[in-house]
Chains A and B, each alone.
Chain A
Amino acid sequence: DIQMTQSPSTLSASVGDRVTITCRTSQSISSWLAWYQQKPGKAPKLLIYKASNLESGVPSRFSGSGSGTEFTLTISSLQPDDFATYYCQQYSSLWTFGQGTKVEIK
């Protein structure tokens, strides 16, 4: 099984900040990685797929990078609507989610 290590688990930031979340995998997954945003009581929403592809309708302040075993999600300028929990997910071998990163207001 592929293990995921997502960091940090919690991130305190202010509106306008640049935010970076990291996801590492226990073995190479090429670029088969997605990022999801989840708000309390809601279903996850796909933001990024294949490591760096922006899902349709997702604001361009979100971006993803990386390949192999190390990946990042960056929010270039944090907006009030972005306070949420973010999950990475590998889909190279079945599916595995990271533990999540809660982005909270500083």
Chain B
Amino acid sequence: EIHLLESGGGLVQPGGSLRLSCAASGFTFGSYEMNWARQAPGKGLEWLSYIDGSGSTMYYADSVRGRFTTSRDNAKNSLYLQMNSVRAEDTAVYYCARVRGVGEANMDVWGKGTTVTVSS
């Protein structure tokens, strides 16, 4: 069964750092591009970042560019989001999602999410 599982969320102080992980199983992880998205409490979905299968190309939303870094370790079937200089507005549920591929860039598999709270 195809599965994504995020971890690493928690309480972090403004200006602090946190590293989220996403463990993939049930598919050939290195063959797929991946995205991170988030959802602030009571708000809609926001795309955050993209990484290609080899980990050589990344794109970021303006809201996190320069503060967040996405990376992957295909040997460990894992995706990461390094969050630095966090702000109160980064409080959200963070999801990793698989990009379908084969000419399609929709997000066909999602993890259950991990919650990040930024507060002093």
Seen from chain A, the residues whose Cβ lies within 8 Å of a Cβ on chain B are 1, 32, 34, 36, 38, 42-46, 49-50, 55, 87, 89, 91, 94-100
B50 contacts A94, CB within 8 Å?
Answer: yes
Interface size on B, residues (CB 8 A): 21
Q: What residues of B have a CB within 8 angstroms of the CB of A99 in the complex?
A: 44
Q: What residues of B have a CB within 8 angstroms of the CB of A44 in the complex?
A: 45, 95, 107, 110
The 8 A CB mask of B101-120 against A (1 = contact, 0 = none) is 00011111011110000000
B108 contacts A46, CB within 8 Å?
Answer: yes
Which A-chain residue is minimally distant from B96 (CB atoms)?
A43
B27 within 8 A of A: no
Return the contact of A97 from the options B47, B100, B108 (Cβ within 8 A): B47
B113 contacts A43, CB within 8 Å?
Answer: yes
Bound Cα distance A38, B37 (Å): 14
Which B-chain residue is minimally distant from A1 (CB atoms)?
B62
Report the minimal beta-carbon distance from A40 to chain B, rounded to whole angstroms.
Answer: 11
